[in-house]
Structure 1
Amino acid sequence: MLLKWILRVSSILLIVLLVVIRVNLVKETEQQDILERPILQTEQFIFNHLLDEAGMIRTDFKGNPNGNLILSESMGLWLEYLALKKDNSLFDSAYLALKKDFISKENLVMWKVEGSVRADTNALIDDLRIIASLFRKGEQMNRSDYIKQAIRLSKSIMKYNRQDDYFVDFYDVRYKYQNKELTLSYLIPKAFQYMVNYGVITVDELDQLRDFLRNMPTDNGFYPKYYSVEDNRFHFDQEINLIDQLYTVIHLEGFGISTDSFFKWIKDIYLQENVIYGRYDRLSKQRIVEYEAPAVYALLVIYSLEKNERAFAKSVYERMTELRSDDPMSTYKGGYVFSNSTHSFDNLLALVAERKLLNE
């Protein structure tokens, strides 16, 4: 009896072990499939065509009109990707380039550098993305210099990009001028959560910001474009830019605010048509353009992961990669290139989405 019991238990344990091994192999194969095809291709495209000698990301190909333009948006997305990838060497190179050329004496990140000319204004979303990446990487590597820089940038945001209790989009260091609107897609929750952890803002201040966003109205299921500090009103666009909307809902989810209705709408549209366009009419909810954008798909992948819809995210991701140059003989293999022109935003967001999908 004892021998039969031992053999039965052993058989059950063997079956369980085989099932676990199979599940892990399937997951590993799926991850390897994602890794080998898109991530290395798009990353290699960026290395070959957009990354300059100083470690900064060009907006377009060298020789094109924006070939010498470097945006804080691109640098922030590159840092975010490198932090997600845990690439210490490239992150440090990008950080040193950013520190040298983009950060003003006020500890704000200027929004562009073209040639040797640096802009005089920052862009709140880019500062916040860079802050979050520096905090993340500082904790990963135990690098106090990254964390100290993130704290300095955070304190400057609180000083220069606020009017009363409201954040605003930019500050002009030359004219000492703040604009009077907040683009609602700019508020990145992870940056503020780090600020609480490092004592830059209080829990109460984070809660006030969350309450402000929770009370934001919608119109026909869409979110407003910006909030005006002058008239204390939310303002909607007639033409809905899905990049703005997707950034907004991703950030709301990060603040713990449900966006189920919007997710249902965009998921239904995609499942019905197998395509998402760049702009929709606010009232009719019909598309008003004929183009697709890699950045829209990338953000929808990230949003779907926020909603724990990995299967849907992978479907959208596959559609996104159909817009990518995959011809092995192409000079631009791995890139999102249209009419011999590209934009760092599309490529970097696609790269971030791919890495987030892989990391899940």
Structure 2
Amino acid sequence: MKRKVLLALSLLFFLLMSGCINRKIDYQIPTSKSQFIHQGNHNRYQSQEKMLREFIENKLVTKKGIYTNFKQQKVSKDSASGHEMLSESSGLWLEYLAYTHQYQKFRQFYQATKETFNQKTQFSYRYDPKTNKLNNVNATLDDLRIIRALQIYADLTNSKSFKKEAAKRFAMLKKNTMSNGKIASFYDVKSKEDSAEGSLSYYDLMTLKYFESVSKKSKKMYRQQLEVVESGYLGDAFPLYANYYDWSDKSYSQDNLNTSESLETILHLSEVKKVKEASLNWLEHQVDNDTLYNSYSVNGGVIDKEHSAGSYALAAMIFSRENNSKMYHRAMGLVLKYQVTDKSSAIYGGIGIGQKNEAYSYNNLMALMASKY
């Protein structure tokens, strides 16, 4: 009798645990095809793209991920460097592989990405191959980028398994980082806490809109998310957006702007047809005059007068989304100004500084993606 009771209790425990697991990964697959794939049909940069792709494949891509910089550097606590790896880079590379129909490479690299960065419900933002250590936190935009890449692959190949994978990963990410319009910048798997602030550049609106199209509740959350971004507008005099929204004191940041992050926000708005004309006019002026600097104050004052190939690549993507072919080519010309064409250089074909052998994955991968727009 006692044995029967124990068996019944064991079965009940198993069923309860199964129910909990299922609830944790409860997800819905959107029924429509996404609108992620954008082809501007410019087709002017095949040779530069080939050189760049070969540099990335041969000098940055490894079996575990992508080097942050071709040049080995000392490890920094604050940001990844040298041969550390970022999930950001993996997501961009996966997008490119899907875009260019390199399906076998996509599957292999996604498997490698999971093996390196996976933290069950999310991807760690940073991995150190020397110590085999993962950072405890993700970067929500990087997760969304990987999820977008999965959906692009699923749409192009009609893969039910990858549609399921994309929807499941979104549901797990959503559970820890999204609520009532909030997109937390990160979630810490050790402390089990999310960030108080939400970076506006992390609101990948097209991805959010697609995966939140499955119910009235989800659609409402998307509208709240869009409102958070749009309300961060700094004004027509300097038509960019605040760095982040602080959910603890309900205010927008007054910190200086990182231009690449600001342009991510503009690109995300452009993708859902919500970009402001004033923002586009400002960007056109900066690109036309080669004055798109690395950092600004919230009042529009220049903080850092250096330039970034990654920022110009983002500008090119925005202009392509807006069907502005002239400005797309102008921005791409400024991107490719940083491509190393000296065949004796260790970073030949890459975007970087030839005499220093410095070539950062972000600039290279953004340039590669922009060349396909």
Query: Normalising to structure 2: TM-score of the pair?
Result: 0.80
What is the rounded CA distance, in whole Å, between the counterparts of 1:135 and 1:47 in structure 2? 23
- Structure 2 residues not aligned, in runs of 5+: 1-39, 75-80
2:68 alignment partner in structure 1: 59
- The 8 Å contact of residues 210 and 255 in structure 1, kept in 2 or not, is answered as no
SS in structure 2 opposite 1:341? coil
1:152 alignment partner in structure 2: 168
What is the rounded CA distance, in whole Å, between the counterparts of 2:71 and 2:228 in structure 1? 43
- Give the count of matched residue pairs: 322
The partner residue of 2:85 within 64, 70, 75 is 70
1:336 alignment partner in structure 2: 351
- The 8 Å contact of residues 70 and 82 in structure 2, kept in 1 or not, is answered as yes
Amino acid at match of 1:40: K
- The 8 Å contact of residues 223 and 236 in structure 1, kept in 2 or not, is answered as no
Decide which structure has greater helix share. 1
SS in structure 2 opposite 1:182? strand
Amino acid at match of 1:224: A
1:142, CA displacement in angstroms?
Answer: 2.1
- The 8 Å contact of residues 49 and 62 in structure 1, kept in 2 or not, is answered as no
1:48 aligns with 2:52: no
- The 8 Å contact of residues 203 and 225 in structure 2, kept in 1 or not, is answered as no
What is the rounded CA distance, in whole Å, between the counterparts of 1:159 and 1:53 in structure 2? 30
1:89 aligns with 2:104: yes
Amino acid at match of 1:113: Y
Deviations 1:52-94 (A, max 9, x none): 134x211122644444311011111111111211210211111
SS in structure 2 opposite 1:258? coil
Amino acid at match of 1:73: E
Amino acid at match of 2:246: S
- Structure 1 residues not aligned, in runs of 5+: 1-26
The partner residue of 2:282 within 238, 241, 265 is 265
Within a 5 Å distance, the mapping from 1:184-263 to structure 2 comes to: 184-197=200-213, 202-219=218-235, 220-237=238-255, 239-263=256-280
1:200, CA displacement in angstroms?
Answer: 11
Amino acid at match of 1:34: Y
- The 8 Å contact of residues 347 and 359 in structure 2, kept in 1 or not, is answered as no
1:22 alignment partner in structure 2: none
What percent identity do the matched residue pairs reach? 25
What is the rounded CA distance, in whole Å, between the counterparts of 1:64 and 1:151 in structure 2? 37
Query: Normalising to structure 1: TM-score of the pair?
Result: 0.83
- Are residues 127 and 200 of structure 1, via their aligned partners in 2, closer, same or farther at CA, if it must alter by over 3 Å? farther
1:215, CA displacement in angstroms?
Answer: 3.2
Deviates more, 1:291-300 or 1:156-165: 156-165
Over aligned residue pairs, what C-alpha RMSD do you find?
Answer: 2.2
What is the rounded CA distance, in whole Å, between the counterparts of 2:110 and 2:279 in structure 1? 36
What is the rounded CA distance, in whole Å, between the counterparts of 1:327 and 1:198 in structure 2? 51
What is the rounded CA distance, in whole Å, between the counterparts of 1:324 and 1:217 in structure 2? 34
Deviations 1:107-159 (A, max 9, x none): 21111111211111111100111111101111211222322221121112221
What is the rounded CA distance, in whole Å, between the counterparts of 1:87 and 1:291 in structure 2? 35
SS in structure 2 opposite 1:185? helix
Within a 5 Å distance, the mapping from 1:293-304 to structure 2 comes to: 293-304=308-319
Within a 5 Å distance, the mapping from 1:108-119 to structure 2 comes to: 108-115=122-129, 116-119=132-135
Deviations 1:154-173 (A, max 9, x none): 11222100355422111111
2:367 alignment partner in structure 1: 350
- Are residues 160 and 318 of structure 1, via their aligned partners in 2, closer, same or farther at CA, if it must alter by over 3 Å? same
